Amino acid sequence: MRDWVEVRRGAYHDSVTLMRVSRALSERPGVAGAMVAMGTEVNREMVAGMGFEVPADAGPDDLIVAVRVADGAEGFDEVREALDGLLRDASRPPAGTGVLGAPPPARTTASAAARAEATVALLSVPGPHVFPEAMDALDAGLNVMIFSDNVPLSQEIALKEAAARRGLIVMGPDCGTAVIGGAGLGFANVVRPGPVGVVAASGTGAQQLMCLLDAAGVGVRHVLGVGGRDLSPEVSGRSALAALAALDADPATELIVLVSKPPAPQVADLIREAARRLDTPVVFALPMPGEDDITRAAENAVRALGRAVPEWPRWPARRARPAPAEGRALRGLFAGGTLRDEAEMIARGALGWDLETRGHRFTDFGDDAYTRGRAHPMIDPTLRLEALRAEAADPSAGVLLLDVVLGHGAEPDPAASLAPAVAAAVKERPDLAVVVSLCGTAADPQNRDRQAEALCEAGADVFASNAEAARHALSMVEGNSG
């Protein structure tokens, strides 16, 4: 094998582009491994973990190229030419721009808003640089959805206070999902229109709720994401309160559901008091002791609208069920933070609060610590696939619990990489159980049922309900029969 490592100073490309470039290089004949990424700390560790020598002076603003080719394969000149072509193609403006007679591209948020007659600005720039762009959007009279994570807390508070003074809403930071009048923004599933409005301090929590409602024949009108920190003591529900008031004022919204990561208790009390003053009924889905999980909240919402609660879709693995993994551990490998929180809360309720001391672990690969300088795991599964292989090789692991989140913006075919990894794991470890929580709808572009069939064929039990998936996984560890 021969390695080529190069650092290109100040050559910025976004993480999604670099993920696609890395994948395209890896698929070339003779290429045994490739990673093209910005030189963030996490990415440098990943490059080193692949066995490459990482230049010590590579910084987060530099592009690292690391390629390994087999002996006798094509030379590095051909790979470099392919890389340059991929990066060049990614940098080209969309077709139709710059045509003679066409208006020049807008240079500011305000000019773009005026040209489009917009009401919402979606911002996705590196978190430390989002504040001036968001302020420009608010000054232009726009509600703001901030997809970016790693935004300083003080800036989030300042932006939400500025929005309140203008009668606007800031959705985010780290707002991955929104639906405005049926139009999905960010990671959004294809759901039918209907009478439910959602306030979401959780992107994947909102998606799970939307998908379950859709499976029950109940549609969604708006989903207003507010960011995972909105119900923290510091932010104190500023955007959640504004979103509740906005949905209550919408005559077409018959029911509101609030879904969140675990909120600060005093903020949860504040939100509940505000909800009691609304004319529109509110259902809560909060992953904390004594509260309904998302599946039960969806069932409550369905009943409140006078509908029958269905059996939630599930797809059993096409192999003999392994014997209960008594004495071995449950390992949760999640892309969705709230789905991870929900599964962990269910596990603590069944197994006790000392999960970690008994080897059980739940990891959120969408956490800021894993996404700094990288695409979200719903787009780039690399880190989680590596973790799956490592956990499967650990004899103390008895059950692996994973989520797969479909919809616009997510990986176009997650089963293409996950199913082979699951199949390899259960082939090596026939005693290992794999359970998948599949969050999606029949109309999603990835084709939910096809994804489920591929994962079942690989050896996983698949559930549309994350809570049901967690309880099924728990039934196979520690002798628990729940």
Q: What is the mean pLDDT of the chain?
A: 90
Residues 296 and 321 in one domain: no
Domain contains 134: yes
Residues 331 and 384 in one domain: yes
- Supply the pLDDT for residue 353: 83
Query: What is the per-residue pLDDT across 15-57, written as a single tens digit (0 to 9) for each?
Result: 778 888 888 888 888 888 889 988 888 788 888 888 899 888 8
CA gyration radius, the chain: 23
Distance from C-alpha of 313 to C-alpha of 310, rounded to nearest angstrom: 9
Residues 73 and 115 in one domain: no
Beta carbons of 279 and 248 less than 8 angstroms apart: yes
Cis bond upstream, residue 193 (ω within 30): no
Tokens representing residue 36 in the block: 């093209």
Residues 457 and 407 in one domain: yes
Instruction: Over range 305-330, report the average pLDDT.
Output: 91
**Domain closes at, from 64, 91, 118:** 91
Domain contains 220: yes
Look up the domain containing 402 and give its range: 314-474
Domain contains 103: no
Distance from C-alpha of 339 to C-alpha of 207, rounded to nearest angstrom: 10
Query: What is the per-residue pLDDT across 273-295, written as a single tens digit (0 to 9) for each?
Result: 999 999 999 999 988 888 999 99
Residues 324 and 467 in one domain: yes
Element containing residue 443 per DSSP (H, E): none
**Domain closes at, from 251, 279, 304:** 304
Domain contains 479: no
**Domain closes at, from 42, 60, 91:** 91
- Supply the pLDDT for residue 46: 81
Residues 382 and 415 in one domain: yes
- Supply the pLDDT for residue 101: 54
Query: What is the per-residue pLDDT across 214-228, written as a single tens digit (0 to 9) for each?
Result: 999 999 999 999 999
Distance from C-alpha of 481 to C-alpha of 479, rounded to nearest angstrom: 6
- Supply the pLDDT for residue 482: 40
**Half-sphere exposure of residue 171: CA atoms within 13 angstroms, side-chain side:** 31
Query: What is the per-residue pLDDT across 229-241, written as a single tens digit (0 to 9) for each?
Result: 999 999 999 999 9
Distance from C-alpha of 293 to C-alpha of 286, rounded to nearest angstrom: 6
Nearest 5°: phi and psi at 129?
-115, 10
Residues 341 and 454 in one domain: yes
Domain contains 480: no
All residues at 6 or more sequence positions from 227 whose CB lies less than 8 Å from its CB, including other chains: 146, 156, 170, 171, 172, 173, 174, 175, 201, 235, 239
Residues 262 and 325 in one domain: no
Element containing residue 112 per DSSP (H, E): helix 109-116
Domain contains 444: yes
Residue 109 or residue 338, greater confidence: 338
* Domain CATH number, residue 22: 3.30.70.60
* Domain CATH number, residue 181: 3.40.50.261
Domain contains 100: no
Residues 300 and 410 in one domain: no
Residues 188 and 242 in one domain: yes
- Supply the pLDDT for residue 481: 39
Domain contains 365: yes
pLDDT class of 148 with cuts at 50, 70, 90: confident
Query: What is the per-residue pLDDT across 163-197, written as a single tens digit (0 to 9) for each?
Result: 999 999 999 998 989 999 888 998 999 999 999 99
Residues 218 and 348 in one domain: no
Query: What is the per-residue pLDDT across 235-263, written as a single tens digit (0 to 9) for each?
Result: 999 999 999 999 999 999 999 999 998 89
Beta bridge mates, 210: none
- Supply the pLDDT for residue 372: 67
Residues 196 and 269 in one domain: yes
Distance from C-alpha of 159 to C-alpha of 137, rounded to nearest angstrom: 11
* Structural domain count, the chain: 3
